[in-house]
Amino acid sequence: MTARRSRHRSAAYATLALGLAGSLALTGCNSHSSKKSKKSKKSSSSSSSSSKSKKRKIIGGGAAAAGAGAASRRVPDCYPSTYKLTFSQQAGPKSHVAVKFKNSTSRDCKLYNAPLLRFNNAKDPLPLSQGTPGHLDGTRITVPAHGYAYAVIPTNTAATKGTEQKSVAVDFMGISASSVTHGPATVNFAEKRLHISVGKSKVTNWSSSIHGAQLAGGVGN
């Protein structure tokens, strides 16, 4: 073998070695890049899943809060009690008995239709001037906290004025024709030194103002 051939083969081997080294380096680089890409995808997927989970939690929490808010806004029924009810007799050509209810709580409450009034332990309540217990007109008012509601019993004729009563038992009507809220509450007129005369009369529905109740009973101005 001549020196020229030896040099030629050495150069060829060196070129082949450099080519193989470059190929291996490229393969390692591609493998490392692929691993990084997979890790990046996994991280992105995990982040997206976490974000969705957080959104679901926020949405769920918002719905629960809205439900709690709606529950807190429900207005309860008003309940009768002796210290919340006042009766007063008005004289003159438009004589009537005014029934006043005070909501002594710090929360609004609802009243339906009219008060059910049984004077002197009567079996049946005083008739309603706007409908009957079985055929109601659907009146419902909200009495604000520490606010008032009124009903009127006209007593402007001899028959409607009748005789002086000793007491009255009061029930509040419920949402349906046959239901009543808790009661009755009994008001003793003698104990309160009240002179209340009621005969064959009727009671109006509840109203947010005494003037509205008087108009409904035909004794307003």
| pLDDT tens column, 64-81 | 444 444 444 688 989 888
Mean pLDDT of the chain: 76
What integer pLDDT is reported at residue 108 of this predicted model?
96
Give the single-character DSSP code of 190. Answer: T
Give the single-character DSSP code of 132. Answer: B
User: Hunting for tokens 């079996």 — which residue is that?
Assistant: 123
Burial class (CB in 10 A: 0-12, 13-18, 19+), 131: middle
Beta partners for residue 80, in sequence order: none
Split at pLDDT 50, 70, 90, the class of 173 is confident
HSE, CB side, 13 Å, CA atoms: give it for residue 90: 15
Residue 134 has pLDDT above 50, yes or no: yes
What integer pLDDT is reported at residue 16 of this predicted model?
40
HSE, CB side, 13 Å, CA atoms: give it for residue 13: 6
Residue 192 has pLDDT above 60, yes or no: yes
Residue 58 has pLDDT above 70, yes or no: no
What integer pLDDT is reported at residue 87 of this predicted model?
97
User: Hunting for tokens 């982040």 — which residue is that?
Assistant: 47
Which region among 45-54, 73-82, 165-174, 197-206 has the lowest average model confidence (pLDDT)?
45-54
Contact 99, 141 (CB under 8 A): no
Indicate the pTM of the whole model. 0.66
Nearest C-alpha neighbor of 138 from the set 177, 99, 108: 177
Split at pLDDT 50, 70, 90, the class of 130 is confident
φ and ψ at residue 119, rounded to 5 degrees: -80, 140
Mean pLDDT value across residues 10-31: 45
Count of residues for the chain?
221
What integer pLDDT is reported at residue 42 of this predicted model?
47
Contact 103, 144 (CB under 8 A): yes
What integer pLDDT is reported at residue 176 of this predicted model?
64
Which region among 134-148, 156-170, 207-221 has the lowest average model confidence (pLDDT)?
134-148
Split at pLDDT 50, 70, 90, the class of 174 is confident
Contact 181, 78 (CB under 8 A): yes
Residue 216 CA to residue 218 CA, distance in Å, equals: 6
Task: List strands edge to edge, sheet with 96-102.
Answer: 85-90, 96-102, 148-154
